[in-house]
Amino acid sequence: MSFGVVEGDPDGLTVAEIDGHPFGQISFTSQRWALADVRLLSPILPSKVVCVGRNYAEHAAELGNEVPKEPLLFLKPSTSVIGPRDAIRLPQQSKQVEHEAELAVVIGPPGARRADRAAAERAIFGYTCANDVTARDLQKADVQFTRAKGFDSFCPLGPWITTGLDVSDLEVRCEVNEEVRQLGRTKDLIFDVPTLVSYVSHVMTLLPGDVILTGTPAGVSPIAAGDTVTVRVEGIGDLANPVVALD
């Protein structure tokens, strides 16, 4: 297992292997592969995944919620993280598991603690796609989101981390079996990315590799065994995961 840089034109992407971890000075080994010949894992193993609820007005409304006055935070455990093409496993406890396509922020070194807006922007290493998979029935029953959003495999991340991206107005899309279910734009985020990073960093120190999920647009809907769910954030790429029953 190693890190690499994805480069080239969209029809012929290649992966150039990095010597060590991408958070340091990047130096390349001599290894190059066609992207199709590589199995991508989650591009980061975060110490924590901090999520933001109700950050698009239309999504808050579709679940009957008000837009919050401050960012609404919750956590997904690191054990929920999977990579591209890994299976989302439907737990027996739920009869209604849903997709939530999101833009994810990856924090770089040295992290962020009580960062103002400018420091928050500097703390961002890059962006990836995320699926904040949610057992909607358990979320409603529990009130606390932890169980509903914390099952193993409920946090697909990937396909890679895109650096140097202007995320102020990107399309966020979710397709289930190539049918579009969610379609939003990051310009409609109630709290924008620097605001979120700064806000979280005033509560808990963000460590390098930590991930913030910025909220999901309207259109959340159930997924079933046999489906393939694809999250696509403009300028990043496709995060596709099959859905399987746990047993």
Q: Which residues bind a copy of itself (CB under 8 A)?
A: 47-48, 50, 53, 72-75, 77-80, 91, 93, 113, 142-147, 150-152, 202-205, 207
Distances (CA, A) of 91 to 140, 212, 242: 16, 24, 14
Residue closer to a copy of itself (CB basis): 144 or 163:
144
Q: In whole angstroms, how close is the CB of 235 to a copy of itself at the nearest point? A: 29
Largest CA distance in the chain: 54
Do the Cβ atoms of 227 and 177 come closer than 8 Å? yes
Residue closer to a copy of itself (CB basis): 16 or 73:
73
Helix (H, G, I), strand (E, B) or coil at 230: strand
Q: Which amino acid does the sequence have at 19? A: D
Residue closer to a copy of itself (CB basis): 4 or 46:
46
Do the Cβ atoms of 126 and 5 come closer than 8 Å? no
C-alpha radius of gyration, the chain, whole number: 17
Residue closer to a copy of itself (CB basis): 80 or 216:
80
Which pair of tokens denotes residue 198?
């700064």
Helix (H, G, I), strand (E, B) or coil at 15: strand
Q: In whole angstroms, how close is the CB of 131 to a copy of itself at the nearest point? A: 17
Residue closer to a copy of itself (CB basis): 32 or 147:
147
Burial state string for 55-65 with b = 16 or more CB within 10 A and e = fewer than 16: bbeebbeeeee
Q: In whole angstroms, how close is the CB of 31 to a copy of itself at the nearest point? A: 30
Q: In whole angstroms, how close is the CB of 62 to a copy of itself at the nearest point? A: 19
Q: In whole angstroms, how close is the CB of 79 to a copy of itself at the nearest point? A: 5
Q: In whole angstroms, how close is the CB of 70 to a copy of itself at the nearest point? A: 8
- Cα(224)–Cα(233) distance, rounded to whole angstroms? 22
Residue with tokens 């290894």, as numbered in its chain: 31
Q: DSSP string of 72-92?
A: EEEEE-GGGEE-TTPPEEEPT
Q: In whole angstroms, how close is the CB of 15 to a copy of itself at the nearest point? A: 28
Residue closer to a copy of itself (CB basis): 240 or 243:
243
Residue closer to a copy of itself (CB basis): 141 or 180:
141
Beta bridge partners of 26: none
